[in-house]
Amino acid sequence: MEYHNPVLLKESVDGLDVKPDGVYVDVTFGGGGHSREILKRLGSEGKLFAFDQDKDAFKNKIEDERFTLINENFRFIKRFLRFYGVKQVDGILGDFGVSSHQFNEAERGFSTRFDAKLDMRMNQGDKLSAYEVINEYDEEQLKKLFYAYADLKNAPKLARTIVSERKNKPIETSEQLNEILKPLLFKGKENKILAQIYQAIRIEVNQEIEVLKEFLLQTEELLKPDGRLSLISYHSLEDRLVKRYIRSGLFEGEPEKDMFGNIDVPFKKVNGLIVPSKDEIQQNNRARSAKLRVARKL
């Protein structure tokens, strides 16, 4: 099972400040790289729980009595930790985005490189796939999606073209979709724009923004005082949510001040933004857009 090097491995696990007897959660298990590093730093009393909704990730399961892998979306983190009798933890790590494995499995339909059925579901049991988004969303929904999740100026044109083309026959594969969109892509930037379009569809299919918000809102209650949050994002939408939540406990607007002008916030950032080194980016292209933020629960 080909899973590439975990991104910002040392930095993100350092961010957790692992205590040997602590309880930690890796909400994006994937190939298990971050989990293995956390286990190395835990003593015999420590515990690690990991989440992954993709059944493929179970082929990488770690045999270790301190480790539990939960086959669920991390939006349900509180519910499933409760099931294991865990109310509070010492640290939570998340590495958002798509694993190299998912990109490299042609039939999953995540990549612009392969001709595959339009799918893009991280959880193969979900009803909504890229096929439904492309063939059933109306023009307005598609336009909003390309604006919001890919920041594409020609979103109206993209939406109009898809809706008009699918009247002839359903758009079933990535190759068909790429052909339809080709005339609308700026010369020399075709691959970049296609990747943005696919990203927007993927975010919609997997409800990535809603999932991230639901998850973040649970971290405040789940973390013990001084507990750590160590989160890696790959696009500005996610990073903005993480940054705002760490700063103010909110996703928009400003927190209320008390009569002395102080604001009551749940977290304090531990250091500035951390990005991969040039070396890491050379070895692992997927790291190029990664941003790590670490916070401590007050």
- Asked if pLDDT for residue 149 goes beyond 90, the answer is yes
For 40-89, the pLDDT digits (tens) are 999 999 999 999 998 888 899 999 999 999 999 999 999 999 999 999 99
- Asked if pLDDT for residue 187 goes beyond 60, the answer is yes
- Asked if pLDDT for residue 94 goes beyond 60, the answer is yes
Return binding residues for S-adenosyl-L-methionine.
32-34, 52, 74, 95, 102
Confidence of residue 1 (pLDDT cuts 50, 70, 90): very low
Please give the Cα distance from 172 to 121 (Å, whole number).
15
Rounded mean pLDDT, 10-28: 98
Residue (of 76, 81, 28, 71) closest to 223 by Cα position = 81
Domains by residue range for the chain, with CATH: 9-100+208-297 (3.40.50.150), 127-205 (1.10.150.170)
Return binding residues.
32-34, 52, 74, 95, 102
Looking at per-residue pLDDT, the higher value among 105 and 290 belongs to: 290
Residue (of 104, 1, 5, 121) closest to 60 by Cα position = 1
**Structure token pair of residue 101:** 């494995």
Q: Taking a C-beta distance cutoff of 8 angstroms, is the pair 117, 172 a contact?
A: yes
Confidence of residue 285 (pLDDT cuts 50, 70, 90): confident
**Structure token pair of residue 60:** 């990488």
Please give the Cα distance from 197 to 201 (Å, whole number).
6
pLDDT of amino acid 234: 93
Residue (of 38, 133, 126, 94) closest to 213 by Cα position = 94
